[in-house]
Structure 1
Amino acid sequence: MDAAPLRLLHLEDSDLDAELIEAELERLGQAVRIVRVMSRDAFAAEAVPGRHDLILADYVLPTFDGISALSLANAQCPEVPFVFCSGTLGEEVAVEALKNGATDYVTKQRLDRLPRTIVRALAEARIRAEKSAARAELEALNRTLEARVAERTRELAEANAALKAQIEERERVEEALRLAQRLEAVGQLTSGVAHDFNNLLTVIAGNIEFLERAVADERSRRRLDMMRGAAARGANLTAQLLAFSRRQRLEPTPVNLNRTVASMRDLLTSSIGGAVRIETALHEGLWRALVDATQVELVILNLAINARDAMAVGGRLTIETANMTVQARPTRPEHPQPGAYVMVSVSDTGTGMSPEVLARVFEPFFTTKAVGKGSGLGLAQVYGFVKQSGGGLRIDTAPGEGTSIKVYLPRAEGERAIAPAADDEVDCLRDHPLGAKPALLVVDDDGGVREVTATRLGEAGYAVREAASGLQALAALEADPCVDLVVIDFAMPGMNGAEAAIELRKRWPHIPVLFVTGYADTAALTQAGAVGADGIVQKPFRDGELERKVAAALAARPVPRLRLVTDRDRSA
């Protein structure tokens, strides 16, 4: 493919010189397209960027001189090389021209040098252009360098964070695996020890019985009684070891845990003592659990005694039941697998556990109690029973903030919650006619605070119902949703006020909610539907603020709507 012709702007007034120069240019070996001009105006019109590859100019013209042409070219197209070709160009003038920006010069007496001079001028111009382009590219690179460094730093930070998260997840999984393996190994060891000890205790207890038949004196009989008591305590310890190792014999049947907890009230009171206040929050639509009824009572008693020991003087122990559907995969050996469970939780206001204690809490014989105050088998027995039953546990605790142990027990197949269907409707105007006292539901886990709140609102002319937890509040509304306002505490164990309010709005969106709190997460309250300061009452109550905000919430609530009666109600 032929090279593009050399574009040359020639400033020359002599026709003869122009012909001689054109003849010399043929020696370049490439086509040359020459535009010849003789005046300033014609030169100025042609000397524009990108139109010519080189400018060749005479030094002396009748109406225009070469120095003026050079100045004009420097102003209009400085990137185009400028070469003087004159017969009157002296050495001093040539040097001055080069200082003013000319690329080179040739005298008309030595036109044979012209091709070489043009080739050199074009090469230098090309080098200057390349340098200029490289400099411009470098400047652009420098301008974007900071942004690219910041972007790369962000990418590296994201990659590092992802890698760190993977490492942490792997470490967590490895730690969970090590804990599970350790508990399994200890379980196998304790199982063998328990079986061997049971054999020994059988021999000891049997021979004590034989000796009692042959011993007549009272002193020897007292000693045999002491030996029998020690053998019985040893049998209890081996039973706990078998429970931890999941080798005990279980007889699972559908169990109503609400009934179990209610029936244990007197036993718990006598075992824990009067200094600890016992509260229950039993879900009315509770599923039946498929468990060994006797063993589940021991689990609740064990957890209650541990809770009592964690509270130095007095305190509050709360037993709660609920239906739970677990979706998350377990992250610790004691956590439940995904599925449907009946949950019973035992919460206390005691000292809580440190992370170091929590990591070993299910190990047999591990205890933080003083010597002689505990065997260290209580939670180990609970762990073994729950895992053998097909359930799991979760512990929520922190030093100084109490402990809540949630026991997840498998739901009995075919059992359904005793709860109203989603489409069931109640005629609130029939049960609570217009003009009747507004019905309020006061929800607070602290019995003293709840009593104060309910008393003040009762004295203000409202019909007040009470609930001790978020789950209990939901159960109360399922039984009778004809409530004009729910006044709920934010900070409660288990389901806090914000979580309860979110669930409440899903089921009964027409019931307004007023939050009572001493300190709360504003974001959680906003998500739960609290609207500004009017939706929150601060504890302790000040100057009728509770009564004033209750009245405002009732005034702003939607007009009560008639609701249809269910088919079940019609058939009744």
Structure 2
Amino acid sequence: MEETQQLKTQLDLMQAALDHINQGFSAFDADLRLVAWNRGLWEMLDFPQELARRGTHLEAFLRVNAERGEYGPGDIEGKIQRRLERAKLFEPHYFERIRPNGQVIAVSGTPLPKGGFVTTYSDVTEDRRRQEKLERTVEERTRALQQSEDWLRLVTDNIPALIAYLSPGPVFRFANRRYADWFGHSVASIAGRPAPEVVGEELFKELEPHINRSFEGNAVSYEYQRNRSDGSTAYMRSTLIPDMTKDGRTLGIFVLSLDATDQKQAEAALVQSQRMDAVGKLTGGLAHDFNNLLAILMGNLLSLGRMETPLDRETLDSKLSPMLEATKRGSDLIQRLLAFSRGKAIDPQNVSLAKVIASAGRLLEGSLPPSVDVTITAQDKEIGACIDPTQMETALINLAFNARDAMPEGGTLTITLDACELDTREAEDLGIPSGRFARITVGDTGGGMDPDTQLRVFEPFFTTKNFGTGSGLGLSMVYGFIRQSGGAIHISSALGVGTYLTLYLPYRRITPTSGRDADEGETLPLKPGQGELLLLVEDDPDVANTVTDQLQNLGYAVLRAENAEDARSLALDLPELRGVLSDIIMPGQINGLALAREIQQKRQDLGIALMSGYADWSDLAGQECACEFPVLAKPFADAQLADTLQKILSPTPDPA
């Protein structure tokens, strides 16, 4: 009896402890009869108090729930039986049940070792409401973020720029519509793709150093060019901005690219305008030079015409030599002027600065007044730079004419060339990296400039000349060209003393070639022919007569045709013909280049060369591709003609 009382006391104590748990609790034995519970279960689920006794079967609890609609409408007995069958499996289980009053109960059951199970009941209504509210908030914010992203996409897609974001790899994470279209992708397909796949392997090799530098944490700007689908060339100017954390890590880079094609064309037009302005300034000097050349030719021709007695060889040579030299000088001068003025696309190349200065000097001869003494010191032909030589000539000529204008009463213009080493401080003052530079100094003994003028002298449209006599673009164009070439320009001037402009360009060593250059008076070895039959195609009778004499004096037999139709017939009908020499620009529907290609297709055994008096014959002939035949520039010497013919004529075929 005492033991029973003690056991009852322990059970009551355990029951009191269970009543303090803030969850509902129940324990059923292997027969599914209640053995333990707590007050929280009855308060939470509203069970009748008569069920709160040991031995109550689980079916009674299920029936109460079913009858008051806890399990929803339908077959009550069926719902009870299905739940009893699942309970008899004594498997761990967890589910949440929403009661008709909206209360959410989480039920978690754990089987006991000898059968039966322990179940806890938690009221998670507030938790679920908070979760639903959180989910609604997340949904609303996601919707707002999506709307924000849609607006951002709308804005970036309509900005006239190419915008993208690159993550390490580099891999594209974002691109606006213009960027995707530019590289032939869709906005969706470009995301997640490696940069080489998007921009192409060849272009990526060009862009990779800039991308790597930006991932190192540097803002980078650069230009590149790419062919459009229609074959035209587009110039792009790009800026890369690193996306960095506060601790200095680079998460990615923002890409902004702008189409600079129109700007490039405008710059080219401005360069051409300055070039033509310089050509206009050269005209007076060139006219003087040509009048002198014509005077030599006319005087000697008249002298020869007046002579009645036969001339000995020495006398004849004394008359012909200056005439030949005059024609060579005139031809050289015209070729240089045409090359200077025709305004081809910028073509940076490694060139000897001494040769560029000498070429500019020859153009300036006769264009400066006698009161200006010109001294050029530029003998070291190994000093070079990667520049466009025509732009360099334009810059030097503009500086020379500025010096001339600064010395209305005369003075000295000096142009010197040397190489120098710039230390870190000197380079920083000029805004360029330290190292070895080619240095060109253009000085004059004119009136000089005050400090205020020196500060503004490189500004576009700033000029100290009278209205209408200067554009104010000369020095700004020189400055832009030097900076574009990786160099710098420094001005030193004082009133009453003169002005010195020093141009610094990254040094390139130019290896001298063996022998003398053709533009320095090289005499090509004369290579006579062996009686080979040549076809000369030339519509100008006087030029045809002159070239015929040259060919015959070189030992060739000559047939002449005045137009493309006759030339085509002769070339195809005469098997003994060995070569064709044709003018490029001729009257009619076909030009010399097209004729040469047509003949070559049907007579591959013929050697073919062309000749032209035009510097830009390709534009006049409507040809955009390179010419595969040698082209002689009129006028040409016997040695040049002989050398060209020797190169094109194939060996005489063996009769056997």
TM above 0.5: no
Structure with the bigger percentage of strand: 2
| TM-score relative to the length of structure 1 | 0.30
Report 1 or 2 for greater relative contact order, CA contacts < 8 Å, sequence distance ≥ 6. Answer: 1
